[in-house]
Amino acid sequence: MKKENKKTGAQVLVDSLAKAGTKVLFGYPGGTVLDIFNCLPEAPFQFVLGRHEQGCAHMADGYARATGRVGVCLVTSGPGATNTVTGLATANMDGIPLVCITGQVPLDYIGTDAFQEADVCGICRAVTKHTFLVKSADEIPETVAEAFYIASHGKPGPVVIDVPKNVQRELTSAQYPERVSLRAYHPESMATATQMAKLAKLINEAKRPVIYAGGGVIASGAAKDVAQLAEKAQIPVATTMMGLGAFDENNPLSLRMAGMHGNAAANYAINKTDLLIALGVRFNDRITGQLSKYARNAKIIHVDCDPASISKNVHTHLGIVADVKDVLTTVNSRIKTAEHKEWLAEIGEWKKKYPVSYRKMHENVIMPQQVIEAIDKHSKGEAVIVTDVGQNQMWSAQFFRHNLPRHFISSGGMGTMGFGIPAAIGAAFGNDSSKIVCVCGDGGAQMTFEEVVVAVEHKLPIVFVVINNGCLGMVRQWQELFYSKRYSGSILTVKDRLANERLEQDLNYDYLPDIVKLAQAHGANAMRVIDPAKLDSTIAKAIASNKTTLIEVIVEPRANVYPMQPGGQPVESMIFE
Amino acid sequence: MKKDELHRLNCFVENKPGVLARIVGLISGRGYNIQTLSVGPTEDGTVSRMKIDVLGNDSVINQIILQLRNQVNVIEVTSRRKS
């Protein structure tokens, strides 16, 4: 190969990202990635500058959740890379495909405690699916191809590629490979004929079956197949939080969300079912409560692409390691139609007796649940709801009628506060046909508020709704219920704080910072709603607008999320109010 | 609670940097103590063999094996009880 045909590692990296299908790259520059940034102006994909590397990682994550494609971010070495750790861990827990390119100090400098050096592969190992340290420019195209393959095959997850600065400057003639073949990693797995026959038999014989659908259904694009199974055999469907949207909640067969803050009918049905058909779930502790009493009358079928998740937390009677969609396509043709009239009638009673509801606490104070109902109403249930973590997340899960996959974006396993704002921005880059509504609390919003400016710069028509109750609501709720109402560290307003947290000067405003002014300073349209009578019209107007808008809603500070099945306890201990 | 027993895990892995760290991290990160560890080459220079002795009950060991098999560079894992 002639020398002039060679390209720098940085150029080859950018070319490889494009070849791998990158449409949007989220990132933040720094010393060790300058060579890569130097190639971006000519890149065939869009570059989006975040304002903090954690934000960049969450944007890539939100983009991946909204589209199903691999999210990509690029950050510098040392602090740039360590700032992405929370974002990587978030994606890792929820099985979201990400590729994160991190700069690294030159190979010669590694291990010398050089400026902005960190052992990124070492740090990220525990929170990623895989990490690569690239040692020569010749390895770059193949590494990028492998990283995208690993991120998106099997149970998806984040992959880090650590690229030393000298490697970016090396010349190479390496080409992007036509196909990826990994020696040791072959995640594809199919159900056997025996398993399929057993699965169909169990479903056909069940008297009180329940489908329990999780994020894996959405990841495998199997929502339609779940609906087909449910309709054909008249099986009610509960979902995890990650599975919201995997089954239309307007369907009478929907039990809505199960778990700690799940619908009572869903939890009761799982408690009484004789066959739990678990599809793409992990049996997380937030779903099961006390394991020994979970689904105590049921045979459990567990279909998941991750062999390590089968029988990890609960004993499984039939575990199938396979893609959920593949399994359902086959099994749907083998099951008999059924009615399960008695079972559905019993569930109907629970639904009637324990609807998702709340009581107004004070006449002129907005209840947080009302805010979600208003968003549901004015977006006709069609918005992509991106949430932060805590009470705002649970109310969004409970009071929005989820009906489409990839329309509920939330940090499930990791429960990362600060996820909402950047993830909404990432989702908006991926989905420009749906309205994006981001629901945050006042706590989480302050963690990554700086990213709002990215939405404004790119004229993203996102509606940020900050539900402000002046406290870290979920923490406060646990303190109210389990810590003798000692609100240590959880009150953000000035006047209600414990004595040890009281501030010297007497501030005459209660809510700090002023979130509306903060949003305006970032260039967004912003308004505050206090009067319940104005809630509906303000939300409707914001959803209709095509400007980046932030609505701060001052809500009842003492509202709790109910029902609640306290951690590690059985379904009997569910608290309703 | 089933009782803890010593298990020998035999892992065949790709001979690449970081593989040992990933495997050891996976086991120790879940709070399990490695009692003995040895790593050596096989006839195929691109494959290494790791012998890892871990104390745990059957379900813990089974979970560790499944997690190990999920690793990108792990070719095969087998185990047997050592007692």
Residues A210, A300, single domain; the answer is yes
Q: Which residue out of A59, A474, A564, A574 is catalytically annotated?
A: A474
3-state secondary structure of A315: coil
Asked if B58 and B2 touch (Cβ cutoff 8 Å), the reply is yes
Distance CA B24, CA A131 (A): 15
pLDDT value, residue A502:
79
Residues A348, A467, single domain; the answer is no
A163 forms beta bridges with A103
pLDDT value, residue A1:
47
Residues A439, A527, single domain; the answer is yes
pLDDT at A157 over 80: yes
Residues A334, A200, single domain; the answer is yes
pLDDT value, residue B82:
83
Please write the tens of the pLDDT for every residue from B56-69: 888 889 999 999 99
pLDDT at A471 over 60: yes
Alpha helices in A273-416 (DSSP H): 285-288, 324-332, 341-353, 368-378, 391-399
CATH code for the domain in which residue A520 is found:
3.40.50.970
Distance CA A424, CA B57 (A): 43
Inspect the interface and report whether the beta carbons of B18 and A133 lie closer than 8 Å: yes
Dihedral of CA atoms A466, A470, A474, A475 in degrees, nearest 10, equals: 140
Please write the tens of the pLDDT for every residue from B15-46: 998 899 999 999 988 888 899 999 999 999 99
User: Is B75 within 8 Å of chain A by CB?
Assistant: yes
Residues A329, A419, single domain; the answer is no
Residues A96, A231, single domain; the answer is no
**Is A165 annotated as catalytic?**
yes
Q: Return the amino acid letter for A138.
A: D
Q: Which of B13, B71, B72, B75 to mutate to test the interface with A (most CBs of A within 10 A)?
A: B72
CB < 8 Å to B71, chain A = 130, 184
Residues A329, A395, single domain; the answer is no
3-state secondary structure of A465: strand
- Percent of chain A scored above 70 by pLDDT? 98
B60–chain A nearest CA distance, Å = 9
Residues A12, A157, single domain; the answer is yes
B9 forms beta bridges with B52, B79
Q: Radius of gyration of chain A from Cα atoms?
A: 25
Average pLDDT over residues A319-323: 96
B56–chain A nearest CA distance, Å = 15
Distance CA B72, CA A161 (A): 14
User: Is A155 within 8 Å of chain B by CB?
Assistant: yes
In a domain, A437, yes or no: yes
Give the tokens for residue A158.
Answer: 């984040």
Q: Return the amino acid letter for A214.
A: G
Inspect the interface and report whether the beta carbons of B75 and A184 lie closer than 8 Å: yes
Sign for the CA dihedral angle at A563, A569, A570, A573 comes to negative
Q: Which one of A111, A139, A172 terminates a domain?
A: A172
Nearby residues of A148 by Cβ (< 8 Å), 6 or more positions away: A20, A21, A70, A99, A159
Please give the residue of chain B at the shortest CA–CA distance from A124. B22
Question: Domain of A304?
Answer: 193-353
Inspect the interface and report whether the beta carbons of A125 and B18 lie closer than 8 Å: yes
Q: How many CB atoms lie within 10 A of CB B43?
A: 5
CATH code for the domain in which residue A307 is found:
3.40.50.1220
pLDDT value, residue B17:
87
Q: How many CB atoms lie within 10 A of CB A408?
A: 27
Question: C-alpha A84: how far from its chain's center?
Answer: 16
Please give the residue of chain B at the shortest CA–CA distance from A135. B17
Alpha helices in B1-83 (DSSP H): 19-28, 58-69
Domain segments of chain B as ranges: 5-81
What 8-state DSSP symbol labels residue B14? E
Residue showing tokens 């063999």: B49
Please give the residue of chain A at the shortest CA–CA distance from B46. A183
pLDDT value, residue A577:
80
Inspect the interface and report whether the beta carbons of B21 and A125 lie closer than 8 Å: yes
Q: How many CB atoms lie within 10 A of CB B1?
A: 4
Would you tell me which residues 32-71 of chain B have a C-beta closer than 8 angstroms to some C-beta of chain A?
A: 59, 62-63, 66-67, 69-71
CB < 8 Å to A182, chain B = 72
Asked if A215 and A245 touch (Cβ cutoff 8 Å), the reply is no
Inspect the interface and report whether the beta carbons of A308 and B63 lie closer than 8 Å: yes
**Is A400 annotated as catalytic?**
no
Which string of DSSP letters, residue by residue, matches A454-467? HHHHTT---EEEEE
B58-69 and B19-28 helices, crossing angle to 10°: 150
In a domain, A186, yes or no: no
In a domain, A572, yes or no: no
In a domain, A363, yes or no: no
Q: Return the amino acid letter for A183.
A: R
Asked if B51 and B38 touch (Cβ cutoff 8 Å), the reply is yes
In a domain, A360, yes or no: no
pLDDT at A76 over 80: yes
Please give the residue of chain B at the shortest CA–CA distance from A156. B70
B82–chain A nearest CA distance, Å = 23
**Which of A273, A321, A263, A265 lies closest to A294, judged by CA?**
A273
**Which of A71, A81, A89, A80 lies closest to A126, judged by CA?**
A89
Inspect the interface and report whether the beta carbons of A125 and B63 lie closer than 8 Å: no
Residue showing tokens 């923490």: A475
Instruction: Look up the pTM and report it.
Output: 0.95
Please write the tens of the pLDDT for every residue from A301-318: 999 999 999 988 888 999
Please give the residue of chain A at the shortest CA–CA distance from B22. A125
Would you tell me which residues 16-35 of chain B have a C-beta closer than 8 angstroms to some C-beta of chain A?
A: 17-18, 21-22, 25, 29
Number of domains, chain A: 3
Please write the tens of the pLDDT for every residue from A378-436: 999 889 999 999 999 999 999 999 999 999 999 999 999 999 999 999 999 999 899 99
CB pairs under 8 A between A and B: 42
Dihedral of CA atoms A118, A123, A128, A129 in degrees, nearest 10, equals: 90
Residues A114, A249, single domain; the answer is no
Residues A229, A158, single domain; the answer is no
Nearest-CB residue to B29 (from A126, A185, A308): A126
Q: How many residues does chain B have?
A: 83
A437 forms beta bridges with A385, A463
pLDDT value, residue A90:
98
Inspect the interface and report whether the beta carbons of A308 and B25 lie closer than 8 Å: no
Distance CA A519, CA A549 (A): 8
pLDDT at A113 over 90: yes
pLDDT at A512 over 90: no
Distance CA A546, CA A84 (A): 30
What 8-state DSSP symbol labels residue A291? G
In a domain, A561, yes or no: no
Residues A159, A36, single domain; the answer is yes
Q: How many CB atoms lie within 10 A of CB A320?
A: 25
Residues A240, A317, single domain; the answer is yes
Q: How many CB atoms lie within 10 A of CB A349?
A: 12
As its CATH architecture, domain B5-81 has: 2-Layer Sandwich (3.30)
pLDDT value, residue A493:
86
